[in-house]
Amino acid sequence: MIGADLAALNSARRALAEGLSPAAVSAASAVAANFTKNDRIANGLGIPIDPMVLQGSEDLRAQLGLNDYRSAVNTFRHATAE
């Protein structure tokens, strides 16, 4: 859905459109956008990541730089309290 390699993204979008349909590209975009919306709402409310998810996502969070967001402090504050 996102990334720095525009050629790879365009290739994936074309493959999805050819394999399923052009509407599938729009549907996939809508699903991703809805997830992002829900995640931003959770972050805005200060809802922390569950400890089990926090432990299992260390590499991914580091790779995506998620720990650098200001809202990450909510997760770490609550994770250390348990």
pLDDT in tens, 26-49: 999 999 999 989 888 887 777 777
Q: What integer best gives the mean pLDDT of the chain?
A: 85
Compute the radius of gyration of the chain from its Cα atoms: 16
Q: What domain count does the chain have? A: 2
Mean pLDDT of 16-26: 94
Residue 41 and residue 5 in one domain: yes
Q: Are residues 19 and 39 in the same domain?
A: yes
Residues 65, 81 within the same domain? yes
Residue with the bigger pLDDT between 37 and 73: it is: 37
- On whether both 9 and 28 belong to a single domain, the answer is yes
Residues 38 and 55 in one domain: no
Asked whether residue 31 falls in the same domain as residue 6, the answer is yes
How far apart, in whole angstroms, are the C-alpha atoms of residue 24 and residue 18?
9
For residues 46 and 81, the model is more confident at 46
- pLDDT value, residue 82: 46
11 and 38 share one domain: yes
Residue 80, pLDDT score: 58
Domain span at residue 55 reads 48-82
Tell me which residue of 67, 35, 70 sits closest to 54, measured CA to CA: 67
Quick one: 62 and 29 in the same domain?
no
